[in-house]
Amino acid sequence: MQLRVIFDTNIYGNIVLEKNVQEFLEKIKTDKDFIVYGFGLIRKELRDTPKKERIGLLGTRNYLLQVYDTIIGEHYLENSAKIDYLAKKFYGYYRTVSGIHPWDKVKIDLTIVACACMNSLDVVYSDDESTLAGKSAQKAYKHITLKENLRIPTFYKYRDLKEKYNIN
């Protein structure tokens, strides 16, 4: 069974810090039952990494973008008015269930999940417990997707991705 997934921006940041980055990338790329999709807002967040940041001798920004492009290949999802509308519906309900963050702080996270829902993706990987994978956001996703007759993706953490590919 083929899994269609999207990585939150923080997952790419974790991957580049691994000792065996190339081995990890190779395992992800060669797994035909695991397709990672890219999304413009994620790439934009990666591009916003300061140019001066470095991982060893490498510029972090360019390295993150290179890893992103390697992982997603040709699998790219476009943003749309429907995705933005769903993200705003998530936010509206998020605020009613004690969501404390302003729209500017959660916009990208909610839009990533809206993209996953609108494109029937199976899994969202994220380590963002305060917004994207937080309890209030989860309540909003469940409530709104039920009303909109959409399937909610399963949420996994970075450690689950490492476990899947036996990366220590």
Can you tell me the distance from the alpha carbon of 154 to that of 140, in angstroms, rounded to the nearest whole number?
14
pLDDT (average), residues 43-65: 89
Average pLDDT value for the chain: 95
86 and 118 Cβ atoms separated by less than 8 Å: yes
- Residue 22, Cα to own-chain centre: how many angstroms? 20
DSSP string, 115-150: HHHHTT-SEEE---TTTTTSHHHHHHHHHHHHHHT-
Answer whether residue 168 is part of any domain.
Answer: no
Please indicate, yes or no, whether residues 67 and 132 belong to a single structural domain of this protein: no
End-to-end C-alpha distance for the chain, whole angstroms? 25
Residue with tokens 């140019």: 51
**Which of 90-97's residues contact partners 24+ apart within 8 Å by CB, and which partners?**
90/114, 90/137, 90/140, 90/141, 90/144, 91/140, 93/139, 93/140, 93/143, 93/144, 94/136, 94/137, 94/139, 94/140, 97/136, 97/139, 97/140, 97/143
pLDDT (average), residues 39-60: 90
**Residue 76: band (very low, low, confident or very high) from pLDDT cuts 50, 70, 90:** very high
Q: Please, what sign has the CA dihedral across residues 158, 144, 35, 9? A: negative
What pLDDT is recorded for position 55?
A: 81
Answer whether residue 142 is part of any domain.
Answer: yes
pLDDT (average), residues 131-137: 91
What pLDDT is recorded for position 56?
A: 74
Backbone Cα Rg of the chain? 16
Of 32-41, 48-57, 102-111, which gets the smallest average pLDDT?
Answer: 48-57
pLDDT (average), residues 28-38: 97
**Residue 120: band (very low, low, confident or very high) from pLDDT cuts 50, 70, 90:** very high
- pTM: predicted TM-score of the whole model, two decimal places: 0.94
Please indicate, yes or no, whether residues 68 and 88 belong to a single structural domain of this protein: no
Please indicate, yes or no, whether residues 20 and 32 belong to a single structural domain of this protein: yes
DSSP state of 18: S
**How many domains, the chain?**
2
pLDDT (average), residues 85-111: 96
Can you tell me the distance from the alpha carbon of 42 to that of 129, in angstroms, rounded to the nearest whole number?
17
Please indicate, yes or no, whether residues 10 and 70 belong to a single structural domain of this protein: yes
Range of the domain at 86: 81-120+127-155
40 pLDDT exceeds 90? yes
Please indicate, yes or no, whether residues 85 and 71 belong to a single structural domain of this protein: no
